[in-house]
Structure 1
Amino acid sequence: MSASTNSDSAPGLPGAVPGAPDLPDAILDALDPEQREVATALHGPVVVLAGAGTGKTRAITHRIAYGVRAGVYKPTAVLAVTFTARAAGELRTRLRELGVAGVQARTFHAAALRQLGYFWPRVIGGAPNRIVEHKAQLVAEAARLVGVSVDRVAVRDLASEIEWAKVSLVGPEDYERRALADGRPAPAGFDHHQVARLATAYEDVKSERGVIDFEDVLQILAGILAENRAIAEEVRAQYRHFVVDEYQDVSPLQQFLLDQWLGDRTELCVVGDPSQTIYSFAGATPRYLLGFRRRFPAAQEVRLVRDYRSTPQVVGVANEVLRRGRVTGALELRAQRPPGPPVSFVAYDDDDAEAAGVAAKAGRLIATGTRPSEIAVLYRTNAQSEAFEAALADAGIGYQVRGGERFFQRKEVRDAVVLLRGAARSADPDQPMPEQVRDVLTSVGWSPDPLAARGAARERWDAMAALVALADDLARASRPGAQATVASLVAELEERAAAQHAPTVEGVTLASLHAAKGLEWDAVFLAGMSEGLMPISLAETDAAVAEERRLLYVGVTRARVHLEVSFARSRTPGGRATRKRTRFLDGLWPEPGGGRRPGPSGPAPATC
């Protein structure tokens, strides 16, 4: 099973339900005691705190199936919502396997869009406005209206900021005050006042064109339900029981819509893990999950802590990462799998050595029977993928990049290669090649110092910095009397690009930690775990650092059996060893001399 979202079939979990059972109680036979408690809690409010790998999807689908089979739920009166189409599809598949049809399992947006399309003609009149899938053109036009100069990267960052404001229920007129109060930096190159003006112009452009965006779908529907009692009652008569998965990721806008669906009722079951809140930058907040029992004092709470995904060694590290950070609401997992190999902690000399070492170990795993698709290399930023792409290609190991474009397919990299190709034809033979490369790349976003920004602008800088580093490496590696040139750099880039395009059927997954959420593999390499990357240097507040720790926890809990955590002391071969491992591994990383890691579970980790 490769990169699966399904940890319920891991060794040790009670067996799957054979077919569609006729008796309600037969559905419960597939569950452990805590999962059964969830399944039999048929009336809300219910909050399920479910740790990684504990079978939460099994628990909530069996709850719905049990409720339907017991005659408590009418299938068409149940609405289960989650955050991705993949997760919604998994809910529907599980329910079909349990013999339950008619339950609506959708993303927030899909459920809202269906209802909005139904009520729009009655409330607003005419056909619904067209939904724009991408904001780029509208943001660019809004920027022109307010006299702001933008490029492609700025448009992406501004679009993301507009989305954050809308899902956070922050209107353009209140954006500047709220962002400053929250300590939220404006996108690179802009101030909060400019963003507020642009957000106002963005809404004007949409109105003039007669279009809406995805956030509007939720806002408009929630507004209709809040203001039109007859329509609200119609929806509430249709849907009487609600289930919300991944509740730690709900935004204020989604919560507002959920409140309109519910009205004054309490038939709500929410499922989440505050330790896996990693999207605060996009408006997600765990406060609704953590505050559920304050809002509903009579709520039943169930905790799922039996981890069926990972070995005791992996679970032990995951628990320690949270415990040492005193993470709010953290659940202590209890491993259900038999023991596996120790977790490895490795300090490499430089980035190239780290990439080569990871590729070599992946190769050994493949040689001993692990499928390439059951191996993942996870890192903090998409720009880190290039070194691992090159190392795996050199080792003849197929790979796939998830959650981001391949390095050489990124527009900024393609544009840079075109410029370098042109520069190669007119290069000054007396100017060192690395200097020429820096001159060229300055025009497409590179600067000597890292950008103090987040989002696409920083990713572009990281990509350009990788090209600069490659130029430096090529110059250092050139033989005496054979000076490296821009032309030789372009040839190297073209060879690397060609190698990564080789077709693969089975491939090692390369992914950022954010893109790995919800997935799992037999073997995981957590690479680049050094200060400045984990936590990332842009995490300047306590809240931001705490989120970075949760992100590391998500990475650790993606591994079923094999886990290696590594970092490189230096960026380049022979460079100064100035990097330090992440503070999040204090007390976990083995000390010189073979000291054992303190902690309640699992044998001492090994270094290699």
Structure 2
Amino acid sequence: MLPRTVVPGCQTRGVAVGERVGAGAVTGAEAVLAGLDDEQRAAAAAVRGPVCILAGAGTGKTRTITHRIAYGVHSGVYTPEQVLAVTFTARAAGELRGRLSGLGVGGVQARTFHAAALRQLRYFAPRVLGGPMPELVENKLRVVAGAATRHRLTTDRTSLRDLAGEIEWAKTTLATPDDYPARARAAGRETPFEPAAVAAVYASYEQAKQRDGTLDFEDLLLVTAFALEEHRDVAAEVRGQYRHFVVDEYQDVNPLQQRLLDAWLGGRAELCVVGDPHQTIYSFTGADPDYLLGFPDRYPDAEVVALERDYRSTPEVVGLANRLIGMAPRRAGLPSLRLRGQRAAGPEPRFVEHPDEPTEAAAVAAACRALVDSGVPAAEIAVLFRINAQSQVYEAALTDVGVPYVLKGGERFFERPEVREAVLLLRGAAAGRDDGTPLVTAVRDVLASVGWAEHRPPPGGAARDRWQSLSALVDLAVDLVAEQPVLTMAGFVTHLAERAGAQHAPTVQGVTLASMHAAKGLEWDAVFVVGLVDGVVPIAQSLVRPEAVEEERRLLYVAVTRAREQLTLSWSLSRQPGGKRPRSRSRFLEGLAPDTGTRVRRPSPRRAEVVLDGAAAELFERLRAWRSATASAASVPAYVVLGDATLQAVAETRPGSLAELSALPGIGARKLEMYGAEVLAEVAATTSR
């Protein structure tokens, strides 16, 4: 059955506009609806569930749901204390409460999933757990470290963070330690250790918490759900208290959160969910967009309201966003959103190609300087990138032009723990006797002492970020030596201190430097989306799974829709000046950016066949011939050597070193050792022709 779509004037389960619940309530309810557009008004008036509000970027989502709650209260349908609005951040919950207060509504519970569960479990713990609320694990890394030690795993803080992240993913997806290896492989997880080893640490971690009588934050949700599922008296009391539910950012709900939501509902349908399938970018943390996409299947009589009027961005930005997301394969479920810009016309988005990353960063910094000089507040400008390690070159470029900045979602480059530790070690090396070792070699040796290895970024997001931060120090040393061949370690350390000192300037009105993930929910007048090359956007690890590539497209969509007026998308053909192996701009720009004559035509990730042009096609065929011969000699199928996706990535990126090759999908340590030299030889043979 198709969902019933709400249109203005259709009030199938809502309170009709003007319906009298009481003389005083009518005026208040009508006032709440005043000023909303037709779709917002329809959503706000649909106060009886189930309701699904599809809210595109910039369409007034928070305004709509707060007015819906206020309308339900003022019309007499809701008692404020019986409404539970669930958000994903404490900031969003506070904003909801503040807006509701401004609409004359108090008493509504607006909380995160964890805050709501904690409040309930504290109250019911004596009944459910037989005693007071257990202590919460304050330092998960400490417990994880103990579990890892029991299994003789050598870990540093980065590995511990990655292990903790895997345990959190397992728990939010309701995977037990026994389930974890198979589930991790099926999901394409890039694990810090073998899945079986992670599962063993996970099991020991759970045993340690049980022994100590403690709970972690995932347990809060799990135990609260269990209490409602298994204790009828608890369920009756909670369900009697909360009768109307609103869930924001529903595309980001994970299985554990959905289980708790189902326990709260107890089979009832007084539920309003709000989300945007185009902004699903957290699948790697366990978020499952199928709960939003499948809402009409679960509730066949659901009213679905689509908010498509974008009040944030100019029609030019909106048009680009629509074209970008329109190239994605159609997903089953709810209808797709197509934004309609409501603002006055603005400048066309700019697409800029640069020869190398430093030039790209310098150009972006100069543009930021010009904007600030023209009167645009620095806080209304953002530079967005895919991975945090990309920030360093922009930090330096903005410092060079005297533009302050703030780094969102992480410490500034020189304040990161691994960088501070490395700088201390480099300072110590500078204070020792100069034995004549070349600077770059000396820097590499120092960083090797803290676990950095040149040829292979480790698996796991946090570990990779750490590796990239330390690699940036090596790259900086290489660049400085190119300019000053006789630079010593002491001179290098002095240069680092000068850079770090420049970053301590006041940055209250700074340009925002943020990853695309960290930018979600924010907006600026001017946005620069940088580093748009294949292997970064989409990230190399995603290339082996079409669904992961499409999540990368949605991530770029999120970045684009952060811009109110001015949007610039840029990429560089080489990492360093004079680079000989041109990189390809992101495949997501095909059909959007003007043809510069330097890109390689690529297939859609949905296509099984490989379509490449020119030198890339030649190299791909050469690699296939090499693979066929290698597989025949070893009496194994060709895919056992390297898969087509890996050969395609090699042909497109043309790696020139083992380090570059190791960053590509499908190249593990074993295959790097077995085939790395031969693959590089094939690349070199084609490149030299």
TM-score, scaled to structure 2:
0.81
SS in 2 for 1:270: strand
- Whether 1:422 and 2:428 are equivalent positions in the alignment is yes
Kept in 2, the 8 Å contact 1:453–1:538? The answer is no
What's 1:527 paired with? Answer: 530
Which of 51, 55, 59 is residue 54 of structure 1 equivalent to?
Answer: 59
Is 1:507 the equivalent of 2:510? Answer: yes
Shift of 1:199: 0.4
In the other structure, the counterpart of 2:612 is none
Q: What CA distance in whole angstroms lies between the structure 1 residues aligned with 2:312 and 2:433? A: 56
1:374 aligns with 2:396: no
Residue of structure 2 in register with 1:590 after alignment: 594
Q: Match of 1:398?
A: 404
Task: Report what 1:542 is aligned to.
Answer: 546
Structure 1 residues 94-243: aligned runs within 5 Å: 94-187=99-192, 190-243=193-246
C-alpha separation between the residues in 2 aligned to 1:133 and 1:280? Answer: 26
Residue 338 in structure 1 maps to residue 341 in structure 2: no
User: Shift of the alpha carbon at 1:267?
Assistant: 0.3
Counterpart-to-counterpart distance in 1, 2:386 and 2:456: 16
> 1:579 is matched by which residue type in structure 2?
R
Quote how far apart the aligned CAs of 1:183 are: 2.8
Question: Deviation of residue 22 (structure 1)?
Answer: 4.5
Query: Which has the higher mean CA deviation after the structures are superposed, 401-410 or 425-434?
Result: 425-434
**In structure 2, what residue type is equivalent to 1:299?**
A
Which deviates the most, 204-213 or 355-364?
Answer: 204-213
Cα offset for 1:554? 0.4
1:354 aligns with 2:360: yes
Gaps of 5+ in 2: 1-24, 598-689
* Counterpart Cα distance in 1 of 2:557 and 2:580: 29
Does 2:70 match 1:42? Answer: no
Percent identical residues: 59
SS at match of 1:376: strand
| C-alpha contact (below 8 Å) 1:75/1:102 kept by paired residues | yes
DSSP-derived class of the 1:183 partner = coil
User: The residue matched to 1:120 in structure 2 has which SS?
Assistant: helix
| Bigger Cα displacement from structure 2, 316-325 vs 557-566 | 316-325
Q: 2:135 touches 2:215 (CA, 8 Å); kept in 1?
A: yes
The Cα shift of 1:74 comes to 0.6
Distance in 2 separating the partners of 1:30 and 1:577: 56
Deviations 1:81-128 (A, max 9, x none): 010011111111110111011111111111111001110022213321
Of 271-280 and 169-178, deviating more is 169-178
Give the distance between the partners of 2:323 and 2:73, measured in 1 at CA: 40
Is the contact between residue 26 and residue 75 of structure 2 (CA under 8 Å) also seen in structure 1?
A: no
- Matches of 1:505 and 1:152 in 2, distance apart? 31
Pairwise CA distance, 1:427: 5.7
> Are 1:564 and 2:556 counterparts?
no
Name the residue aligned to 1:581: 585
Match of 1:284 in 2: 287
For residue 171 of structure 2, give the secondary structure of its aligned residue in structure 1. Answer: helix
Q: What one-letter code is carried by the residue in structure 1 that aligns with 2:306?
A: R
2:566 counterpart SS class: strand
Aligned-partner Cα distance in 2 for 1:273–1:134? 34
Question: Aligned-pair distance for 1:448?
Answer: 2.6
Q: What CA distance in whole angstroms lies between the structure 2 residues aligned with 1:477 and 1:213?
A: 52
Greater Rg by CA: 2
**1:514/1:551 contact within 8 Å kept:** yes
Are positions 1:246 and 2:249 aligned together?
Answer: yes
For 1:21 and 1:30, how far apart are their aligned partners in 2?
A: 16
CA distance in 2, matches of 1:552, 1:172: 34
Q: Distance in 2 between matches of 1:342 and 1:454?
A: 38
Bigger RCO (CA 8 Å, 6+ sep): 1
What is the identity, as a one-letter code, of the residue corresponding to 1:402?
A: K
* Alpha-carbon distance in 2 for matches of 1:542, 1:216: 33
Would the aligned equivalents of 1:47 and 1:302 in 2 still touch at CA under 8 Å? yes
Answer yes or no: is the 8 Å Cα contact 1:378–1:524 preserved in 2: yes
Aligned equivalents of 2:433, 2:561: Cα separation in 1: 50
Q: Check whether the contact 1:133–1:214 (CA below 8 A) recurs between aligned residues.
A: no
Distance across 2 between alignment mates of 1:557 and 1:36: 24
Could you tell me whether the CA contact under 8 Å between 2:356 and 2:576 is conserved in 1?
yes
Determine if contact 2:458/2:467 at 8 Å carries over to the other structure. no
Residue equivalent to 1:73: 78
The equivalent position to 1:442 in structure 2, one of 448, 454, 461, is 448
Query: By how many angstroms is 1:352 displaced?
Result: 1.2
Contact kept, 8 Å, 2:191 with 2:460, in 1: the verdict is no
Shift of residue 465, structure 1, vs aligned partner: 1.2
Residue of structure 2 equivalent to 1:453: 459
SS at match of 1:419: helix
State the match for 1:13 in structure 2. none
Asked if 1:257 corresponds to 2:263, the answer is no
What per-residue deviation string (whole Å, max 9, x for no partner) do you get for residues 101-159 of structure 1? 11111111111110011100222133211112331100001111222221111100000
Decide which moves more: 51-60 or 169-178: 169-178
Please state whether the residue corresponding to 1:258 is helix, strand or coil: helix
Q: What is the RMSD computed on CA atoms of the aligned residues?
A: 1.5
User: Take 2:330 and 2:558, find their aligned partners in 1: how far apart are those partners?
Assistant: 13
Which residue is equivalent to 2:486? 483
- What SS does the aligned partner of 1:523 have? strand
> Per-residue displacement from partner, 1:304-327 (whole Å, max 9, x unpaired)?
111000001111111111111235
Runs of 5+ consecutive residues of structure 1 not aligned to the other structure = 1-19, 594-608
Residue in structure 2 matched with residue 29 of structure 1 by the alignment: 34
- Asked if the contact 1:427–1:486 (Cα under 8 Å) also holds between the matched residues in 2, the reply is no
Q: Give the equivalent residue in structure 2 for 1:321.
A: 324
Query: Following the alignment from structure 2 to structure 1, what is the Cα–Cα distance between the partners of residues 255 and 489?
Result: 51
CA deviation profile, 1:224-269 (whole Å, cap 9, x unmatched): 1010111101110100000000000000000000000001110000
Which residue is equivalent to 2:98? 93
Cα distance in 2, alignment partners of residues 330 and 463 from structure 1: 39
Q: Number of matched residues?
A: 569
Whether the 8 Å contact between 1:454 and 1:538 is mirrored in structure 2 is no
TM-superposed CA distance for 1:577, in Å, is 5.0
Query: SS at 2:536's partner residue?
Result: coil
For the residue of structure 2 that corresponds to 1:172, the secondary structure is: coil
